[in-house]
Structure 1
């Protein structure tokens, strides 16, 4: 008979494989996409649909660096989608066979940055406070050190809660247990029940469970109802009205647990073009279609180094040197300081370089030992632009 740990690990592998397929057939040989619509700096999806245009010719050295992300699969893993935008216009778009512009692909931890933007809307509306105590009922007992945790601490991954992102072996970590094990039915309850291991703000501890706590706070802010359907509907409607429709991200599909809490740390789906629209929204510092949707002050917060890890901002990765011993997220030794990225498991990237007016989306499946080579190729492409 399989042990509990083996069952959890087996279920995790099955579901990981299922989500990795991301609603598309398994790819075979890779082929460039057909001519595609110009997105335009305003990211107006209606305009894009009305005026299909071929992509502009790219210099040979840039095209070579882009296509290396497909041809060097043994080194960098399988690239399923690669988009490059300059000034909001597509200059390169390619998919692996079996994938295309309409394929929804999993975000993994890129979802964290989307969750941060949703939190920003609520702070801007006065519904939440960045530096007030996080409204989590389980932490409000007298003497509970978790009562001092703020939204800022959660967004900086410095809550002090005893979360373990990746265990050794993997099923000993909170992420697998929360997504596939005992915590799956009530992910926020699982994450919020963990004890304090440090003072809030004392140390950096990257954790998908932290982002689920944020998602729970967002749902509780939107509706007092505790039913799963009501919580899901409230969150979906909020995302549709505040983010998806204004940006044209019509494919964006968040997933929810059985309690109706959005899995805001790791499981959303969208097309590569819609991930690019999100990247452009960030590049334009919260402006879409000529309208400011997110305050400049929130963008400054998200893109400022956190106190305990300069390579991380408000639920987003920055091109800054990380503390000694921390694995590189981007390439601060090469790229500009203003470069930042949403990064997800297995090599999902939305890379934004404001000074170059460039957004890059790379989606695929990369193994742990392939990440240095993948970062190198992405850095090469970014530098060539």
Structure 2
């Protein structure tokens, strides 16, 4: 005879407690399981990150990979992360590599700003004097009140309208590609005052071109176009390129022999990283002071008219406007950056011993997503 299947029952007291205990048991089981682990990092992605990058290696590899694989931040062509003077991550996209020269666009302004500091240190220029531009020195010309400091801080007061619409009316486009292209500095210097010098912040590629012209006038007074170009190019390489080891550093010049110092300086990704490290170390390389430390301090000090801008450098500060170039809500206040058109970045965070270089092509509508992705890399370091 088959024995009946016997069901074991809870004692009556335990059965009464079961409804109350069940939620606690379920919560405990969830806690034990935790969130799902992220997928493993592919070996080829992990290989782009150093063995000891100064943070979690896999986290950094994922953050770097996102810059190359996300479809909402444009095209990343090169990325270098430097930590404590060592390469923590390095990766290139497509056919680009460590020998590729990348156009800095407006990161060129920061290079020009450093060159101005060298000339001030040499005693050839004075920060609060009117620069040697003959057309401004005529009696009664109000532009004679503009100082070198104001040009560097983008508050010259000149009528320079950046990013105007339609694009062919924008002053940087007119100066570089249309009616000003043969003598860009003359075109920029000829513009009238729109504001009293020093009163308003107006980001301006034309102002950086004027700085380049000032440099050429100091180095080659009354020189021909060829002499101006040769003098500026020699100075650029002897005083910056060679000491920093930036062998790829290349500047373009217009027909008047003026360096296009607001937008047309090229370098490889490793050389842009060298430039960032130079800034991180306060203008020194291996203990040799290439430009006075005080000049770099000036470059990264707030402009009186723009808390997020110094002197040819962007600062990680709230602008007080809808202009958000960096990430003041999440990054250190001491972080600063050279930033160029289409998403070129040299980010420098001295407190984190960090330099991040990103080069590529990102349209304006995707810029915020790119900044967030860069902020994620910076946030990985203490």
Shorter-chain TM-score bucket reads 0.7 to 0.9
Which residue of the partner structure matches residue 344 of structure 2?
348
- Residue matched to 2:361: 365
Secondary structure of the structure 2 residue equivalent to 1:364:
strand
Is residue 2:63 matched to residue 1:65?
yes
Partner of 1:272: 269
TM-score, structure 2 as length reference? 0.86
* Distance in 2 between residues matched to 1:34 and 1:374, nearest whole Å: 23
Q: Which moved more, 1:339-348 or 1:283-292?
A: 283-292
CA drift at 1:35: 8.0
Tell me if 1:108 matches 2:66. no
Partner Cα separation in structure 2 for residue 240 and residue 296 of structure 1 = 20
Equivalence for 2:209: 212
Aligned length: 336
Equivalent pair of 1:102/1:271 in contact (CA under 8 Å)? yes
Higher alpha-carbon deviation: 217-226 or 178-187: 217-226
Match of 2:160 in 1: 163
**Distance in 1 separating the partners of 2:46 and 2:378:** 21
Gaps in structure 2 of 5+ consecutive residues: 1-43
Q: Does the CA contact (< 8 Å) of 2:157 and 2:200 recur in 1?
A: yes
Deviation at 1:136, TM superposition (A): 1.1
The counterpart of 2:326, out of the listed 316, 327, 330, is: 330
Equivalence for 1:135: 132
Aligned to 1:226: 223
Partner of 2:79 in structure 1?
82
Q: 2:189 maps to which residue?
A: 192
Report how far residue 79 of structure 1 moved: 0.1
Do 1:33 and 1:94's aligned partners in 2 also have CA atoms closer than 8 Å?
no
The Cα of 1:56 is off from its aligned counterpart by: 4.1
Post-superposition offset of 1:225? 3.7
Partner residue, 2:303? 306
Larger Rg: 2
Residue ranges of structure 1 left out of the alignment (5+ in a row): 1-30, 37-53
Is contact 2:45-2:61 (8 Å) kept? Answer: no
Looking at structure 2, the residues matched to 33 and 175 of structure 1 have their Cα atoms a distance apart, in angstroms, of 41
Residues 222 and 32 of structure 1, relative CA distance in 2, 3 Å threshold: farther
TM-score by length of 1: 0.85
User: Of the candidates 371, 374, 381, which is equivalent to residue 375 of structure 1?
Assistant: 371
* C-alpha RMSD over aligned residues: 1.5
